[in-house]
Structure 1
């Protein structure tokens, strides 16, 4: 079968496609015929060897697959790695049946990224109706869903940040009340202005560095910042405890893989809820393009350059 194989750590240029043996499904797992696999920013860290859990070379990256299980059911599978291939072994407990009204691309959009957006807002930020919520990278896979979820769950004001006018327009079309330039020289001032001069209640933070520092300064009393990435690779200023205590602010970290590993219900509950919102037309996953497995290096290059929106997918069915 064909699969992406990483033989050395690096950028998208190290991505190659090889013929490898079909994986063996261990006890408690099944072999899924993969039709689509989903790209995530975490894949870039896996490929670079900078992920929280470093893989041993050679390996096949990819944490989410859509396809059919041995009984022919349409399923979404979440796995530690091995997803960017034509077949993948998936633990039975990590298989989610996909209803007919959800496409394969949409299922992948709702997988790791939908799960992340759901738990950033519900589990970590503990959002309630009437709060102002900042969503950085609002045109991306997580951000485009978080904007819609925050609005559907009663946020008083959803403030999106994105790097281009087209991305900001997309965020506004998804329900954001205001969109700011993520390259703004003073992000604190931009967020306060977007929130009509008031400090914000929640910031979903995935860039790190200057964005984290200035977002934290925009938080009001009892504000919560949820950190789930360091995409900018910029160092952040160490957080002074006085800045948290003085305004009763919180900074919470989130790693999707950790929650999936320790609480399986967290995955099934989130996906059930997300599928239901799609059916009720409360949520529309944004699909940012489908590429062939042979074009994976190009697809990952676009992701690394922040030149994509929504969910980027690989079609693994080609010969």
Structure 2
């Protein structure tokens, strides 16, 4: 089978197609023939060494796939080596999905959808009527967060994006307006995956008792130290968020994922699929993701 592997840390250029034996399932595991593998920003950190140690090389990235088991079930699965034609997954890490649900949409609802849901519900604890600002609003998480904020009753949703084409997309998804700093009115909630200067601008734009939820550093500009005295003067808070420990809590996956599937099936939520690449072009997918040329969910297809 073909898989995408890197033997040293670096940029997208280290991602290389290789021929490997089909993996053998262990006890409690199943073999999945991959229909599509999700590409996430975290994969770029694994590739450059931010998430891995040198003793874990060589490594096949990818944490989620849609595919079929040997007995014919179509499943969404959490895995550790997803950029491959076939993978193994723990039987407890599978969710059966309907045949009429597009694989890329299912993957969007998994990692990005659960992130957006928990950012608003668990981290920000958004209330109806509040003003929500979403950074990187055309991305996989952001495009769903814009829609979910409206679905959860936000009074106004402002979207921060980087190009006119992305402005048109997020307005079509339901954003009330494009966010530009300084904001005309303070925000109750800001979802930030960018960091750097944008984080500082957002923090100063919070309303009293506002919450800035930080869940990434796409700018690669480093994290801004936060002075507790500054938070006191602003009467605001900064909330850190990481999906992995969040999903370890009881009920953190099944209930939210069921709601996301239902909203999609009824047309109230539209997962955006922005990049569909052949598996062997994983390098190009990472290049486009890092250059912010993509929108929505990016997937690789064997």
Gaps of 5+ in 2: none
Contact 1:78 1:112 in 2 (8 A): no
CA deviation profile, 1:128-186 (whole Å, cap 9, x unmatched): 110000100000000000000001111101000011010111111000001136xxxxx
Using the alignment, how far apart are the partners of 1:251 and 1:92 within structure 2?
37
Matched residue count: 301
Give the structure-2-normalised TM-score.
Answer: 0.96
Task: Please say if residues 102 and 275 of structure 1, whose CA atoms lie closer than 8 Å, have aligned partners that are also in contact.
Answer: no
Alignment RMSD:
1.4
Q: Conserved in 1, the CA contact under 8 Å of 2:133 and 2:179?
A: no
Q: TM-score, normalised by structure 1?
A: 0.91
For residue 186 of structure 2, what is the aligned residue in structure 1? 199
- For residues 311 and 103 of structure 1, the distance between their equivalents in structure 2, rounded to whole angstroms, comes to 12
Residue in 2 aligned with 1:97? 96
CA 1:264 to 1:67, structure 2 compared with 1: closer, same or farther past 3 Å? farther
Alignment partners' CA distance in 1, 2:210 and 2:110: 28
Report if the CA contact (8 A) 2:217-2:223 is conserved.
no
The aligned residue for residue 184 of structure 1 is: none
Query: In structure 2, what is the Cα distance between the partners aligned to 1:36 and 1:122?
Result: 28
Q: Could you tell me which residue of structure 1 aligns to residue 143 of structure 2?
A: 144
Checking the alignment, whether the CA contact within 8 Å between 1:277 and 1:283 is kept in structure 2 is: yes
2:256 maps to 1:257: no
Alpha carbons 1:46, 1:54 under 8 Å: kept: no
Deviation at 1:271, TM superposition (A): 1.2
Is 2:116 the counterpart of 1:110? no
Question: How far apart are 1:54 and its partner, in Å?
Answer: 4.3
> Secondary structure of the residue that 1:239 maps to in structure 2?
coil
2:82 alignment counterpart: 83
Post-superposition Cα deviations, 1:16-48, rounded to whole Å, max 9, x if no partner, equal 010112223222221111110011111111111
> Is 1:101–1:279's contact at 8 Å kept on the other side of the alignment?
no
Tell me how far 1:71 sits from its aligned partner.
Answer: 2.3
Q: Does 1:285 align with 2:271?
A: yes
- Three-state SS of the structure 2 residue aligned to 1:162 is coil
Matches within 5 A, 1:235-246: 235-246=222-233
Q: What is the SS of the residue equivalent to 2:253? A: helix
Cα deviation, 1:102-151, whole Å, max 9, x if unaligned, reads 21111011111111011000110111110000100000000000000001
Distance 1:101 1:134 in 2: 33
For 2:261 and 2:165, the matched residues in 1 are separated by 27
Matches within 5 A, 1:36-47: 36-47=36-47
